[in-house]
Structure 1
Amino acid sequence: MRLARPFLRLTPAERRVWDAYPSGAWVDLRTGDAEADDPANGDGWGPERTIRAEVLSALLLGARQAEPGKTAGLRLAGAHVTGVLDVSDATLTGKLHLLNCNLPEGVSLTDATTAGVRFRGCEIERVRAARCTVNGLLEFDGSTIRSGVRLDNATVNGQFRLAGTRLSSPEGTQKASESVLQDVRRNLSEAEMRDRGLGQSQWALWAGGLTVEGGAFMRDMRVTGGMRIIGAKFNGGIYLQRSVIEATGPYAVQADFMESGAAEFSAGFTATGTVRMRNSRVHGVLSFDGATLKAPGRVLHLSHAQVEELILRPTSIEGEVNLAYSRIGVLLDSPSGYPDGVYLNGLTYEALRGGDWTVTDRLSWVAKDPYGYRPQPYEQLATWFRKIGHEPDARRVLLAKQRQRRHTLRPTGRIWGRLLDLVVGYGYRPWLAGLWVAVLLTTGTVVFSAVPPTQIDPDEVRSFQPLVYTLDLLVPVSVFEQRGAWEPVGWTQWLAWTLVASGWILATAMIAGAARVLRPSPSS
């Protein structure tokens, strides 16, 4: 066969792999010494553990056929693989399973179609697998990948595993300097730059458009660089519990338009850099419970998203949170989850959870928008309180809304608003009007009992009643005909005029407040 021709001379290690492939048997080149078998030291392994990548590629591409009744496969442990393990554009039928191997020049699965692919506990320079299709498990558990993984527009029909992996963004020639990039941009389009891997130095995982039918298990990772999973689909969910991501650019995770069955950034998940999930869709739980999030400016960007349940109870968070225009079924959060501000305009939710919240806390929450007063968050919160039967709390929220709105008005509007607030609480505290009436009525009764007014028509037989006289002054339209029959004397004239003016103000304020309360709110 022409494929076998370059390998007429195989090393003993290569011969073992060559002979084992047709039956899928394991070839274990490890010594049993943990330190000596550490793949990080693989560059020092001798020829007895060294295998050329082209030998492995030839086997995977069909240099040897499966034995009758057996399934061919490459199963290799403890090898130092020289050269790039390149099976790009091929369709592979045999499984690829490498354990504790050292691949200093990387792996290329670009546009390949394969069965299961597993690299467990390996030391790998870089993985290129754009647009590949893996009909089974794609695993890098416990491996160290020094210059990133590229999986844009790939399809994994099983699980995708990066548990315990140490993943870094590209280094060396892949991490082009800004001056080099400027020269390249003059001659290459953005698409050509992506194909050549330029401009990706900040991303440890470049996986836009990735589709994973099973779960994506990325627990206990250590990532230096960002994870770019824009438009990715994780039908079985994505799980990053206890993973630590230290961004080298602005984003720790960029997952705009991501769709997932569930998403766990929880239980010790740590991100230094923005977690951006704008327009994402999570059909189950999106959890940041017990997470540590830190970024300058915006730490969590979750605007225009649709989430069945959002758990936002981080252990520590530094930066702004953006939930604007998102639709959330259940929001479980805590007052300490928004120390630097939160964008809530346009956010809608079906239920709020979190036993440590008070109404005062929620009012502080909706007032934390860095852009200032927005009416919709207050209306949404009031709607929620009404939904659960807490009408007094809903009124308190709407009163706070009017008080915040007052700061945005012109001076005349602020004066009138303050008067409405003082007299009837913008209509949400009508008992205030009754209190003012009681105070004024009592004052007038006491004063006019001590200093009675004089009768205007002495010939008319009348008896003076201080209470009725004061009440007649307070009512905008005279009802008891006392106002026109008696004339206050001395300084009590000022009290009478005050009572008349107060009556008009109270009546006007009560009408304005009633109209405000009875007017349907935009959220109803």
Structure 2
Amino acid sequence: MPVRLKRPFLRLSPAERRIWDAYPTGAWVDLRSGDDETDDPANGAGWGPERTVRAEVVAALLLGARQPEPGRSAGLRLAGAHITGVLDVSDATLTGKLHMINCYLPGGVSLVDTVAVGVRLRGCEIARIGAAGCTVNAMLDLDGSTVHSGIRLDNAHVKGQIRFAGLRLGIGEAARVPDGTPKDVRRKLSEEELRERGHRYGQWALWAGGLTVEGGAFMRDMRVSGGLRIIGAKFLGGIYLQRSVITATGPYAIQADFMEAGAAELSSGFQATGTIRMRNARVNGVLSFDGASLRAPGRVLHLSHAQLDELILRPASIEGEVNLAYSRIGVLLDAPADYPDGVYLNGLVYEALRGSAWSVADRLTWVDKDPYGYRPQPYEQLAAWFRKIGHEQDARRVLLAKQRRRRHTLRPAGRTWGRLLDLLVGYGYRPWLAGLWVAVLLAAGTGVFASVPPTQIDPEEVRVFQPFVYTLDLLAPVSVFEQRGAWDPVGWTRWLAWTLIASGWILATALIAGAARVLRPGPSS
């Protein structure tokens, strides 16, 4: 015979009576049948009244309808129940832990602005969870659960860990209108307003801007339809998404601008379809994409203006552009081939480059992949790193490549002068080329003037003609050996003499220009 109680609960079902009696001691109430298929909460709609519990009964217990027994820790520990209605304990301080296993909650859970000891909903089937502004003093555990219509955790504070391992998460229709919208307001929304709100909220499976998690956020093996919006979130113990699969329904798989984390593991089989945006993020440990599969139209990874102690960017596959512009990275572990669709590098500063074997040519190809075209800073940063590790020759090679790349951005006159500088002295980074040109011209002049000697201008002056010294004096911009004014070339050799004089001036100018370029103050020096 049902037990009669004072309002608001005039009667309790047998299942509710068991929960009511167990709460003061925190004892478990298990309503499961023992058959795995029957007990699957995905089949919870077919469970009978012997497993049905009203949400308001659960809420009343959590809000203090029954006091704990002396010396015992009160709490709701329930397995295999069908909770009817919305489990709404918003704006309250819960007196005991909430721990459910394999329960079916088609009405969802509301913990908005709630203070809870601990919340554990493991292996449950839940319509949606709204917990904006919630404070959880211990663990928030959704391991193995399915949440069909999204989770709201914006500005929540979890003092323990978040455990979402194996969570199945979708957006559904309920996520399209935010928590806290009164029913009368919902009815008044126009179709256009509903579409606009759907655009804002409907693409996010997890809406958690401003979330703070003091322990680790263990979110491995999740399957998410929709995006994770964690702008400004703080994961002091790190966030771990190994083997999770996120399929975006909007442009972003993850939007984590201004996120702070002790570490971030999007690795070991992690898959994302949609852009991962972490602009201005700060990771005090490792941000790893090792073994990840990333795909998005256009920009697949947006890490501009970020501060990272270490970035491991060795994905199993990647489709889309990568943006590392204006970021500061301690150690960058990658391979130049890991950016098939381009990489934004302007303003990027790194202390060390690591990864599998690659050549200077590979890194130059990497720098040239910037979709915006030539930018001097990536070359200067790469050269500075080569100099830092003592590879001066490689640094010069990078800076020479920079000048050659820059030449394509100049006007025709500038391109012509650039080609001449490159040919003669390698823009100053290959000064030995000038010596080679001098040797070739000196040999040619010496041979010609030995065969066709010039005539002496002053026959009365006693001189002995030396073709080598005469050629050398022609090549010098200013006559050093006083041979140029003493001998006059004859016939066609006049053209050779004029060519040698002009070449001397050009070589001297190129050497001066190249030296000024190499020795000027700045990152390239």
TM-score class, shorter-chain normalisation, is over 0.9
Partner Cα separation in structure 2 for residue 153 and residue 19 of structure 1: 35
1:226 aligns to what? 227
1:313 aligns to what? 314
Contact 2:241 2:270 in 1 (8 A): yes
1:365-376 aligned at under 5 Å gives the runs 365-376=366-377
Alignment CA distance shift 1:173-1:330 (3 Å): closer
How far the C-alpha of 1:456 sits from its partner, in A, is 2.4
How far the C-alpha of 1:50 sits from its partner, in A, is 1.2
Contact 1:4 1:63 in 2 (8 A): no
2:181 aligns to what? none
1:282 aligns to what? 283
1:75 aligns to what? 77
Alignment CA distance shift 1:497-1:308 (3 Å): same
How far the C-alpha of 1:369 sits from its partner, in A, is 1.1
1:85-484 aligned at under 5 Å gives the runs 85-171=87-173, 174=176, 183-184=192-193, 199-484=200-485
Alignment CA distance shift 1:14-1:162 (3 Å): same
21, 24, 35: which one pairs with 1:22? 24
TM-score by length of 2: 0.94
Alignment CA distance shift 1:295-1:393 (3 Å): same
Partner Cα separation in structure 1 for residue 222 and residue 137 of structure 2: 24
How far the C-alpha of 1:323 sits from its partner, in A, is 0.8
Amino acid in the other structure paired with 1:127:
I
Matched, 1:84 2:86: yes
Alignment CA distance shift 1:138-1:183 (3 Å): same
Partner Cα separation in structure 2 for residue 164 and residue 367 of structure 1: 41
SS at match of 1:35: helix
Contact 2:384 2:523 in 1 (8 A): no
SS at match of 2:337: helix
Contact 1:342 1:370 in 2 (8 A): yes
- Indicate the larger mover: 60-69 or 425-434: 60-69
- Indicate the larger mover: 217-226 or 163-172: 163-172
Alignment CA distance shift 1:465-1:3 (3 Å): farther
SS at match of 2:463: coil
Contact 1:181 1:198 in 2 (8 A): no
How far the C-alpha of 1:414 sits from its partner, in A, is 1.1
TM-score by length of 1: 0.95
Contact 2:288 2:311 in 1 (8 A): yes
SS at match of 1:517: helix
Contact 2:149 2:175 in 1 (8 A): no
How far the C-alpha of 1:265 sits from its partner, in A, is 0.7
How far the C-alpha of 1:21 sits from its partner, in A, is 0.9
Contact 1:139 1:161 in 2 (8 A): yes
How far the C-alpha of 1:283 sits from its partner, in A, is 0.7
Amino acid in the other structure paired with 1:209:
G
SS at match of 2:276: strand
Contact 1:170 1:200 in 2 (8 A): no
How far the C-alpha of 1:457 sits from its partner, in A, is 2.7
Partner Cα separation in structure 2 for residue 221 and residue 482 of structure 1: 86
Partner Cα separation in structure 2 for residue 311 and residue 372 of structure 1: 25
Partner Cα separation in structure 2 for residue 385 and residue 520 of structure 1: 17
How far the C-alpha of 1:127 sits from its partner, in A, is 0.2
Number of residues of Structure 1 aligned to a counterpart in Structure 2: 513
Contact 2:24 2:66 in 1 (8 A): yes
Percentage of pairs with the same residue: 79
Amino acid in the other structure paired with 1:400:
A
Partner Cα separation in structure 1 for residue 219 and residue 261 of structure 2: 14
8, 18, 23: which one pairs with 2:10? 8
How far the C-alpha of 1:174 sits from its partner, in A, is 3.1
- Indicate the larger mover: 234-243 or 7-16: 7-16
Alignment CA distance shift 1:283-1:476 (3 Å): same
How far the C-alpha of 1:4 sits from its partner, in A, is 5.2
Contact 1:39 1:101 in 2 (8 A): yes
Contact 1:77 1:98 in 2 (8 A): yes
* Backbone CA RMSD of aligned residues: 1.9
Unaligned 5+ segments in structure 1 are none
SS at match of 1:294: strand
